Amino acid sequence: MQRITLFLLILLALSCQNPTPTNNETVAEETTADPTLEQMIGQMLMVGFRGMTIDSVSQTIKTQIQSGRIGGIILFDYDVLRKEAVRNIASPDQVKQLIHDLKALTDQPLLMAVDQEGGRVNRLKPTYGFPVSVSSKYLGALDNLDSTRFYAQRNAENLKSLGFNLNFAPVVDVDLNPNNPVIGGYERSYSADPAIVTRHARAWISAHVKEGIISTLKHFPGHGSSDSDSHAGFVDITEYWQEKELEPFRQVLGDAQLTALMTAHVVNHKLDSIYPATLSKNVITGILRDQWQYDGVVFSDDLHMKAVNALFDFETILKKSIEAGVDILVYGNNLGYDEEIANKAITAITRMVEQGELPRERIEQSYRRIMQLKSKLQ
């Protein structure tokens, strides 16, 4: 009898040391499980698509979102390839519902982005029922921070009400070339004075921070002095670029605010003899990471743009961008269209890691930065 009692006491002790996990504990273990390589790469991809409602979005795109193979979405109002204003944006109610339905496809936070600078780069136009906006050049010339705050606050409140959480603005390129076809010509820069650019960018960002909207400085290391458009082809700024173009980026990135950064597809042979900034380790890691100690998220500019897409093959663009220090690879699917682009990128990057062409640690580094940024979303 004593032996049986002793045996039962031992069993009881063992069961206390190794209790059967509850359902909640099992879920917690699954939730905190390390992500797979493909899941981490998926967070590094932002894509665009066609569709005004969730029912008109292709199953290919929806499946990739559901399976975590896409970590971010960018919306447009105009379809460049089809040359028609039928893409993702028609009215406030429609956009709000579309974003809500896209976010509902996944348990992971989904970056919902738009290029809403104001002025001519304005996806949420008054003709669709959105508030009127003004250009950065107008605000910089006015040089009244209260005015900048007013328009920034209205913009941020509008973005939040629709469900966006990331804006590809402000432009902090310095307006050194008024004839620049993509910056100066579109009135996207605040000023030719880096100090004015910095002041207004800070005011713009602060208003968005209040509403939980991530702001993205663009286009690093400066696109304002160029004489051509990187959407259309090769852009060499070697003879035009000035070091003061870095100043707004350096100043604003030093602030503890909800910010990220976007690269420029411009070549500066003084900084890199071969690659444009998006693909340049000298530019992104050398300046941003090493010199400035910036550990935030870096977005590529659209990788369908001809300044990279016409010069380098698909896998080279992926590899060199990641090696350079880019965290999120943007494929707007508006200058080219491929709904399988995320799947293709994951397959290519996975192969590079498995074959030792890219270190897994580099993918883990970007994943950490991205998830840290997403953890700040409201």
The model's pLDDT over 78-114, given as tens digits with 9 standing for 90+, comes to 999 999 999 999 999 999 999 999 999 999 999 999 9
pLDDT, average across residues 350-368: 98
What's the pLDDT at 326? 98
Within 8 A by CB and 6+ apart from 316, the residues are 279
The model's pLDDT over 132-191, given as tens digits with 9 standing for 90+, comes to: 999 999 999 999 999 999 999 999 999 999 999 999 999 999 999 988 888 999 999 999
At residue 230 the predicted structure's pLDDT band, cuts being 50, 70 and 90, is: low
- pLDDT category at 13 given cuts 50, 70, 90 is very low
User: Which residue range is the domain that position 265 belongs to?
Assistant: 39-374
pLDDT tens readout for residues 104-136: 999 999 999 999 999 999 999 999 999 999 999
Q: How far apart are CA 77 and CA 187, in angstroms?
A: 20
Look at residue 13 and tell me if it is in a domain: no
For residue 59, how far is the Cα from the chain centroid?
Answer: 23
Band (3; pLDDT cuts 50, 70, 90): very low
Would 292 be classed as within a structural domain?
Answer: yes
Residue 18 lies in a domain: no
Confidence of residue 234 (pLDDT cuts 50, 70, 90): low
| CATH value at residue 362 | 3.20.20.300
Q: Determine, yes or no, domain membership for 12.
A: no
Mean pLDDT taken over the chain: 90
Q: Is residue 116 in some structural domain?
A: yes
Query: Rounded to whole angstroms, what are the CA distances from 296 to 1, 62, 371?
Result: 67, 28, 11
Determine the Cα–Cα distance for residues 374 and 378; give it in Å rounded to an integer: 9
pLDDT of residue 235: 79
User: Which pLDDT tens digit goes with each residue over 250-278?
Assistant: 999 999 789 999 999 999 999 999 999 99
Angstrom distance (rounded) from CA 281 to CA 273: 11
Closest CA to 162 of 250, 217, 97: 97
Closest listed residue to residue 140, CA positions, set 118, 165, 108: 118
The answer to whether the bond into 219 is cis (omega within 30° of 0) is yes
Average pLDDT over residues 35-43: 97
Residue 232 lies in a domain: yes
Q: To 10 degrees, what angle do helices 145-162 and 92-103 make?
A: 60
Count of domains in the chain? 1
Answer yes or no: is 359 within a domain: yes
Q: For residue 137, is it within any domain?
A: yes
Angle made by CA atoms 40, 64, 362, in degrees to the nearest 5: 15
- pTM, 2 dp: 0.90
% of the chain with per-residue pLDDT over 90: 82
